[in-house]
């Protein structure tokens, strides 16, 4: 089986369109969305329509729940808060219902998915330390999986449950059944690893390899839409910087 894992679309239609074209070219069997379809970008409703129309599996991201009032935005920075409040006014009742009812995790035959962490998915924390990773590896095992996919940090990286825990920033990540692996698929609509190309992950369960794919898209168009919508300028500028 070949799986596509994509997340953190963040209302960026231009990036989503190019990523879906890239996925189509890879003959993928199943697509899974890792959350945060909305937030930051200027076209949350359009991106939601696209994902909903695909009928793919989707889990909740913090911006998805913030957009429907299911998660407090008190801890958001000023730019994220402004985007969340703006996004709430852009969505239909049907779209809000879709986001409000998304699950936090899903477990499949070959892997499990969550947005931020596996050990406290409802808190939408980040895996930033070895301790964070260790907690999520323990939770992943309880889900009956040895491979997990996350989003949220917008930085593609692979963690290995070795002694001690190690990580890689390489675009090809081997899936070794002797050690659990957690992969962050990066971000479609707002990369933060100083690479402004959209990111998604391809899992081939037969070759036991995860490949991080990077895709060019029309940043000028996405950024100008953010400006036209009256959203904070920094949300446009960071698309160019990839951070």
Which tokens sit at 63?
């911006």
CA distance 117 to 108: 17
- At 188, which CATH number? 3.60.21.10
Query: Phi, psi (5° rounding) for residue 203?
Result: -105, 125
Which element (helix H / strand E) includes 112?
Answer: strand 112-114
Domain count, the chain: 1
**Integer CA distances (angstroms), 108 to 52, 58, 124, 200, in order:** 20, 13, 21, 18
Q: Which domain holds residue 23?
A: 2-241
38-89 per-position pLDDT tens digit: 999 999 999 999 999 999 999 999 999 999 999 999 989 999 999 999 999 9
Least confident piece of the model among 24-38, 50-64, 118-132, 226-240: 118-132
CA distance 43 to 45: 6
């Amino acid at each position: 089986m070949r799986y596509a894992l994509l997340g953190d679309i963040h209302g960026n239609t231009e990036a989503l369109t190019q990523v879906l074209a890239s996925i189509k070219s890879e003959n993928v069997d199943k697509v899974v969305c890792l959350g945060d379809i909305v937030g930051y970008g200027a076209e949350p409703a359009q991106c939601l329509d696209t994902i909903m129309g695909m009928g793919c599996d989707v889990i909740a991201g913090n911006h998805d729940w913030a957009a429907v009032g299911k998660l407090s935005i008190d801890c958001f920075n000023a730019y994220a808060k402004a985007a969340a409040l703006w996004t709430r006014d852009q969505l239909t009742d049907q779209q809000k219902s879709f986001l409000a009812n998304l699950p936090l995790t899903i477990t499949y035959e070959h892997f499990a998915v969550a947005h931020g962490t596996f050990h406290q998915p409802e808190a939408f924390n980040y895996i930033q330390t070895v301790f964070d990773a260790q907690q999520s590896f323990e939770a992943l095992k309880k889900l009956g999986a040895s491979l997990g996919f996350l989003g949220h940090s917008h930085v593609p990286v692979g963690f290995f449950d070795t002694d001690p825990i190690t990580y890689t920033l390489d675009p090809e990540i081997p899936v070794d059944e002797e050690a659990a692996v957690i992969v962050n698929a990066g971000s479609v609509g707002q990369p933060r690893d100083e690479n402004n190309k959209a990111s998604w992950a391809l899992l081939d369960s037969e070759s036991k390899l995860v490949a991080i794919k990077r895709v060019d898209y029309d940043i000028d168009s996405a950024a100008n839409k953010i400006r036209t919508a009256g959203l904070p300028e920094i949300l446009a500028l960071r698309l160019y910087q990839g951070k």
